[in-house]
């Protein structure tokens, strides 16, 4: 799908999303907020997986860190609009620090190291206790705003985060850093001998990815007002994000957003009709997607069109 068509699609979607709260009830507001949240998670994965080729399967760790840092910050008396940015910074900082040892690992090793990191973070939060609430979970201070207003604020905040994340990915797709990442994804030593500082590029990518994922986690915590390790560090958050990114097409700009919408809306329809065998159908869906549209939905759609593939103008980056 060409850049222009992606841009038109993105604009249409954005207008629809801005107008939606005027027309939908609380149920759909919640569903759409969830779509945006997973859209952000999927974009976070897109940066590190789609661009850099590092399979951060356990990226949910930054979701949990974002959620817990927001929760702790608010418990300590910070207002939410300070607590969430602080939480995002915390997630980014942790990624930057851990990036150096972790991103030296290649392929599968990196993927499972992030999974282990997620598990370790869970245990650490439980065992610290005190300010984290330990195994009992952490209630956030209640907002004084009326619920209908609060949920609309969260809706727009989540949408704004998604737009920002998508804008960052758009910038990345044309920037020097984006080229560095795509180059090292295909051949790390090839990129190095062409002057790419691969270590720096990878760490930057993971930091951006963590910041995105952390902001989704922070907003989620504020939305839920009660968090616990099991749900905040749930590995299925990143796994879902992964499927969404795959579904929409990784390495594309709006693919992950489309994927999030498709997956979450279909998942929701399944959830409401077949609550007993939700995961069974979800699993079947995942397998079907992988088997039938491995290149992502965006790419498959563009393949349905006549084959006139316009040559891409490159290098004017």
User: Smallest distance from the beta carbon of 62 to other proteins, in angstroms?
Assistant: 16
Q: Is 168 in the site for other proteins (CB under 8 A)?
A: no
Binding pattern for the stretch 203-242 against other proteins, x by CB under 8 A and - elsewhere: ------------------------------------x--x
Question: Per-residue x/- marks for other proteins, 248-277, CB under 8 A?
Answer: ---x------------------------xx
Is 249 strand, coil or helix? coil
Q: Exposed, middle or buried by CB within 10 Å (0-12, 13-18, 19+), for 273?
A: exposed
CB of 255 to other proteins, least distance (A): 14
Q: Does 2 participate in binding other proteins (rule CB under 8 A)? A: no
The residue from 22, 193, 304, 308 that contacts other proteins (CB under 8 A) is: 193
- Can you tell me the distance from the alpha carbon of 175 to that of 46, in angstroms, rounded to the nearest whole number? 15
Concatenate the DSSP letters of all residues of 178-195 into one string: HHHHHHHHH-HHHHHTTT
Location of structure tokens 């760490």: 203
- DSSP symbol at 138: E
Stretch 38-67: interaction string toward other proteins, x if CB under 8 A:
-----------x-----x-x----------
254 burial via Cβ count (<10 Å: 0-12, 13-18, 19+): buried
Whether 61 and 233 have beta carbons less than 8 Å apart is answered as yes
Q: Rule CB under 8 A: choose which of 41, 87, 115, 229 binds other proteins.
A: 115
Interface with other proteins, residue 97, by CB under 8 A: no
Pick one of 26, 104, 160, 269: the residue that binds other proteins (CB under 8 A): 104
Burial of 239 (0-12, 13-18, 19+ CB in 10 A): middle
- Could you say which of 130, 195, 306, 307 contacts other proteins (CB under 8 A)? 195
Tokens for 267, please give them: 């998942």
b/e per residue 215-225 (b: at least 16 CB within 10 A):
bbbbbbbbbbe
Residue carrying the six token digits 């927001």:
70
Candidate segments 31-39, 59-67, 214-222, 308-316, binder of other proteins by CB under 8 A:
308-316
Instruction: Give 68 or 179: the residue with its C-beta nearer to other proteins.
Output: 179
3-class secondary-structure state, position 124: helix
Q: Does 120 bind other proteins (CB under 8 A)?
A: yes
> Residue 111 interacts with other proteins (CB under 8 A)?
yes
Rounded CA-CA distance 238/268 in Å is 18
State how far the Cα of 253 lies from the Cα of 103, in Å rounded to an integer. Answer: 24
Residue 246 touches other proteins, criterion: CB under 8 A: yes
Q: Which is nearer to other proteins, 52 or 154 (CB)?
A: 52
Q: What is the contact surface with other proteins in residues (CB under 8 A)?
A: 49, 55, 57, 101-102, 104-109, 111-113, 115-117, 119-120, 123-124, 126-127, 176, 179-180, 182-183, 185-187, 189-199, 239, 242-243, 246, 251, 276-280, 282-287, 289-291, 294, 311-317
């Amino acid at each position: 799908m060409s850049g222009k068509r992606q841009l038109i699609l993105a604009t249409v979607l954005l207008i629809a999303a801005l107008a939606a709260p005027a027309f939908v009830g609380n149920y759909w507001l919640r569903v759409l907020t969830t779509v945006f949240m997973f859209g952000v998670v999927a974009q976070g994965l897109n940066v590190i997986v789609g661009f850099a080729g590092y399979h951060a399967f356990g990226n949910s760790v930054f979701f949990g860190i974002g959620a817990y840092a927001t929760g702790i910050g608010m418990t300590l008396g910070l207002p939410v609009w300070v607590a969430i940015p602080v939480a995002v910074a915390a997630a980014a900082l942790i990624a930057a620090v851990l990036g150096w040892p972790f991103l030296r690992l290649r392929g599968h090793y990196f993927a499972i190291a992030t999974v282990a990191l997620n598990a370790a973070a869970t245990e650490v939060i439980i065992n610290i206790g005190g300010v984290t609430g330990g195994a009992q979970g952490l209630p956030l201070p209640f907002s004084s705003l009326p619920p209908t207003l609060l949920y609309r604020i969260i809706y727009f905040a989540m949408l704004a985060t998604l737009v920002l994340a998508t804008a960052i990915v758009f910038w990345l797709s044309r920037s020097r850093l984006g080229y560095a990442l795509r180059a090292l994804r295909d051949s790390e030593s090839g990129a190095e001998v062409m002057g790419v500082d691969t270590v720096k590029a990878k760490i930057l990518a993971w930091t951006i990815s963590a910041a995105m994922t952390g902001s989704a986690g922070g907003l989620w915590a504020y939305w839920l007002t009660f968090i616990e390790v099991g749900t905040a560090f749930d590995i299925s958050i990143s796994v879902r994000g992964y499927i969404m990114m795959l579904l929409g097409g990784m390495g594309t700009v709006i693919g992950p957003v489309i994927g999030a919408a498709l997956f979450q809306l279909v998942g929701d329809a399944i959830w409401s009709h077949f609550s007993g065998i939700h995961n069974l159908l979800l699993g079947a869906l995942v397998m079907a997607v992988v088997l039938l549209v491995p290149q992502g939905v965006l790419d498959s759609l563009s393949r349905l069109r006549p084959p006139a593939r316009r040559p891409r103008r490159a290098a004017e980056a």
